[in-house]
Chains A and B, each alone.
Chain A
Amino acid sequence: MTTKTHSQTPSEPGLLARIRNVSPRRAMLYVVLFFVGGLFLLPLESAVMTSFKTVSGFAQTVPIAPPPPGQATLEGWMNAWTTLRATMLNSAMFVIPATLLIPVLGSLAAFGLTITDWRGQIGIYVLFIVGIFIPLQAVLVPLSLTWSIVDVQTQLATLGPVNVWDLPLAQEHHAQFIELAITHIAFGIPLSTLLFRSHYKDLSDEMLEAARLDGASMRTIYLRIVLPLSKPLFVVVMILAFTTIWNDLLFALVIVTSPQAEPVTVAFAGLAGGMVREFNVIMAAGFITALPTLIVYILFTRQFAEGFANTGV
């Protein structure tokens, strides 16, 4: 008992004293910080509020105000979900394969460009670097031309003994997911390779040589030494790939011709640019579209930070 009061009595005035001791300069700093922070969060707050208002509720109040009584509704969220549900799945169909393949291919390419030794490595590597700096706008036309020449849908239909599109679950518009996935993988590989390469250059040469002397083939060295040592970087590259590809609108607009194959970003853009602007639906749809990337960030924050710390990117 006595100890409790003891520990409390000095702490109470201590806290007060600390507040009193804050210099005016510091106090000003805090005020400014809170103000700026609030300013940044304001649009987000408005969006949340708007998504829960009815149309008339939105018209009657300022955006930052909470829904007035009787004007709160989940309708915006319901509508947005109904519109986007199918397109979310469409996005997943090419985002997930691309997210998985980009780090795998990048790491393999980086392995070949650093740990093995052959002529012309530098030339190839320069090509990869160039790939990072190509402005996407410049390739849109060639890209759509390419995919109209290489018609994946007909190619697959005539590929084997059976028509792929006759198989159960396969639908013809799925061909566009393949096109999207391949395009995103192609444009994701350069950066992925660059990141892996800088990581692999830091691996100890002597450790890799020790592995060779231990009788390990190149394949074994990759699978048993290099791959386990690049786990944190896999997480980083996968997160980067996932967010860029999920949020991509440009390639989707150019490549996707069938409305059934529309990814979520295209659908959302349609909503936001529609004739009748239901702001609660638009705001809710925005949140729904961003949700997967948010979840990915939250789940992998720690690995993400570790991965960056490890690679020194």
Chain B
Amino acid sequence: MARIQIEGLSKHFQDGDETVVAVEDLNLDVEDGEFVVFVGPSGCGKTTTLRCVAGLEDPTMGTIQIADDVVNDEPPEDRDIAMVFQSYALYPHMTVRENMSFGLEHSTDLTGDDIERKIQETAEMMGIEELLDRVPADLSGGQQQRVALGRAIVRDPKVFLMDEPLSNLDAKLRAEMRTYLQQLQEDIDVTTVYVTHDQTEAMTMGDKIAILNDGELQQYGTPAECYHEPENTFVAQFLGEPSINLVEMDVQNGTMSAGTFEYQLDGRLADAVDADSAVVGIRPEALTVSTGNSESDTAFTGTVAVVEHLGRESNIHIELDGIDVELTVIVDGRPSLSVDDSVSVHVPPEAMHVFDSHTGKVLRNASEVTERASLDL
């Protein structure tokens, strides 16, 4: 039904003599009822894409289809879309009830009684039924947020667009609303595009995530796909906290090396790496630390620079010998290491993502979900 197909979408802004490329050649399919999250750093074109789908911005190139109709020339008021703006965009002179009924009055044929019933229902779901007669100025930020969401939800549209709807909430409320929105979307099953720059939100909420950078789509897939099989170094770095370790390595005679680390490339990979360097990515949780020297070739030696104890686990930052690289390793529980200890870091070969050092494109992804590292002494 309300599938969204974006084909070759580009949006350029004219800024004086300069052309700002906000979105470039974006291709994306959102299936009916799917929850897709757009993530990416600030200014990567998330909002612009959303506004193009809503019809608030004219695409420079490309087509947008909603429910198999090309909507490029359809004005926003005819698209049956509800959008939650980052700034809430509530109508300041109307009560919460009037804010919620406005859209119903103008986009549906519902009668007064039906409208009132729907508002009551939605307000109860959002926990704002006591606020219905207040104006937005008399509400807290979190309450305004819920009213903005309620105003969109009550409409029962073909498509939801949400632009960083949780960005102004405190951590606790944000976590609550996150779960709540997910449940809600599952219940009412409306195609949803959700914009955020918070990777936790992206990983936990989306059926699929679309990672954007500089107006270009980097990867589109399930959160697990994007995390475990990143298509390039940008995606690998963007997802995961702490971020993936990337080490630039020399490649000579089928051997990859950096510092004390050496790895003999096997058949398939040897063909793929044809340059004299490559970038290796290893997730912090895939590394193992031990004190003293390691016998293994696929290990780095270094000294502990910082130990961050987070409770259930600890992040250990290690400065490597011979190369100017700092690795992050996650270990369980309370670390028995302290700053300035000499350690070796073991890299399981199957946990290595190998990327082209020029294009950043993936050559080989880590082959299996690696076990949680443990500190063996």
Mark A residues whose CB is within 8 Å of B: 204, 206-207, 209-217, 220, 224-225, 228-229
Summed over the interface, the residue pairs from A and B with CB atoms below 8 Å come to a total of 61
Expressed in whole angstroms, the Cα–Cα distance for A298 and B124 within the complex equals 46
Select which of A204, A214, A229 is within 8 A of B106 by beta carbon: A214
Expressed in whole angstroms, the Cα–Cα distance for A224 and B98 within the complex equals 11
Q: Mark B77-120, 1 if CB is under 8 A from A, else 0.
A: 11101110101011111000000001100110000000000000
Which of A207, A213, A216, A220 lies at the interface centre, i.e. has the most chain B CB atoms within 10 A of its CB?
A213
Q: Which residue of A lies closest to B157 (CB)?
A: A213
B81 proximity list for chain A (CB < 8 A): 213
Select which of B75, B89, B107, B155 is within 8 A of A204 by beta carbon: B89
Are B85 and A215 in contact, CB atoms less than 8 angstroms apart? no
Which of A204, A209, A214, A215 lies at the interface centre, i.e. has the most chain B CB atoms within 10 A of its CB?
A214
Are A207 and B89 in contact, CB atoms less than 8 angstroms apart? yes
**With A206-B87, A220-B106: A213-B93 Cβ-Cβ less than 8 Å:** no
Are B90 and A216 in contact, CB atoms less than 8 angstroms apart? no
Are A215 and B77 in contact, CB atoms less than 8 angstroms apart? yes
Are B102 and A212 in contact, CB atoms less than 8 angstroms apart? no
Chain B: interface residue total (CB-CB under 8 A)? 23
Expressed in whole angstroms, the Cα–Cα distance for A176 and B90 within the complex equals 47
Q: Which of B50-97 contact A (CB under 8 A)?
A: 54, 56, 75-79, 81-83, 85, 87, 89-93
Expressed in whole angstroms, the Cα–Cα distance for A204 and B79 within the complex equals 22
Are A217 and B89 in contact, CB atoms less than 8 angstroms apart? no
A207 proximity list for chain B (CB < 8 A): 89-92
In the complex, how many angstroms separate the beta carbon of B75 from the nearest chain A beta carbon? Answer: 7
Q: Which of B184-206 contact A (CB under 8 A)?
A: none
A217 proximity list for chain B (CB < 8 A): 77, 106
Are B103 and A212 in contact, CB atoms less than 8 angstroms apart? no
Are A228 and B107 in contact, CB atoms less than 8 angstroms apart? no
Are B89 and A214 in contact, CB atoms less than 8 angstroms apart? no
A213 proximity list for chain B (CB < 8 A): 54, 56, 76-77, 79, 81-83, 103
In the complex, how many angstroms separate the beta carbon of B2 from the nearest chain A beta carbon? Answer: 15
Select which of A206, A224, A229 is within 8 A of B102 by beta carbon: A224
Are B103 and A215 in contact, CB atoms less than 8 angstroms apart? yes
A215 proximity list for chain B (CB < 8 A): 77-78, 103, 106-107
Q: List 13 A-B contacts (CB under 8 A).
A: A206-B85, A207-B89, A210-B91, A210-B151, A211-B102, A213-B56, A213-B81, A215-B78, A215-B103, A216-B102, A217-B106, A225-B91, A229-B93
Expressed in whole angstroms, the Cα–Cα distance for A210 and B82 within the complex equals 8
Q: Mark B254-293, 1 if CB is under 8 A from A, else 0.
A: 0000000000000000000000000000000000000000
A220 proximity list for chain B (CB < 8 A): 106
Are B155 and A214 in contact, CB atoms less than 8 angstroms apart? yes
Expressed in whole angstroms, the Cα–Cα distance for A211 and B98 within the complex equals 12
Q: Which residue of A lies closest to B84 (CB)?
A: A210
Select which of B75, B87, B90 is within 8 A of A212 by beta carbon: B75
Select which of A209, A225, A228, A229 is within 8 A of B56 by beta carbon: A209
Are B77 and A216 in contact, CB atoms less than 8 angstroms apart? yes
Q: A212-B56, A214-B103 are in contact. List 16 more A-B contacts (CB 8 A).
A: A204-B89, A207-B89, A207-B90, A209-B56, A209-B85, A209-B89, A210-B85, A210-B89, A210-B90, A213-B81, A213-B83, A213-B103, A214-B82, A214-B155, A215-B77, A224-B102
Q: Which residue of A lies closest to B98 (CB)?
A: A224
A225 proximity list for chain B (CB < 8 A): 91, 93
In the complex, how many angstroms separate the beta carbon of B102 from the nearest chain A beta carbon? Answer: 5
B102 proximity list for chain A (CB < 8 A): 211, 214, 216, 224
In the complex, how many angstroms separate the beta carbon of A308 from the nearest chain B beta carbon? Answer: 19
Expressed in whole angstroms, the Cα–Cα distance for A210 and B155 within the complex equals 12
Expressed in whole angstroms, the Cα–Cα distance for A209 and B55 within the complex equals 10
Which of B87, B89, B107, B151 lies at the interface centre, i.e. has the most chain A CB atoms within 10 A of its CB?
B89
Q: Which residue of A lies closest to B87 (CB)?
A: A206
Are A229 and B92 in contact, CB atoms less than 8 angstroms apart? yes
Q: Which residue of A lies closest to B101 (CB)?
A: A214
Expressed in whole angstroms, the Cα–Cα distance for A204 and B136 within the complex equals 14
B93 proximity list for chain A (CB < 8 A): 225, 228-229
Expressed in whole angstroms, the Cα–Cα distance for A13 and B76 within the complex equals 73
Expressed in whole angstroms, the Cα–Cα distance for A4 and B331 within the complex equals 75
B82 proximity list for chain A (CB < 8 A): 213-214
In the complex, how many angstroms separate the beta carbon of A219 from the nearest chain B beta carbon? Answer: 11
In the complex, how many angstroms separate the beta carbon of A138 from the nearest chain B beta carbon? Answer: 38
Expressed in whole angstroms, the Cα–Cα distance for A215 and B151 within the complex equals 13
In the complex, how many angstroms separate the beta carbon of A234 from the nearest chain B beta carbon? Answer: 13
**With A214-B102, A214-B155: A209-B90 Cβ-Cβ less than 8 Å:** no
Are A214 and B107 in contact, CB atoms less than 8 angstroms apart? yes
In the complex, how many angstroms separate the beta carbon of A223 from the nearest chain B beta carbon? Answer: 11
Expressed in whole angstroms, the Cα–Cα distance for A212 and B79 within the complex equals 10
Q: Which residue of A lies closest to B80 (CB)?
A: A215
Expressed in whole angstroms, the Cα–Cα distance for A293 and B83 within the complex equals 48
Expressed in whole angstroms, the Cα–Cα distance for A303 and B83 within the complex equals 35
Q: Which residue of B lies closest to A218 (CB)?
A: B77
A214 proximity list for chain B (CB < 8 A): 77, 82, 102-103, 106-107, 151, 155
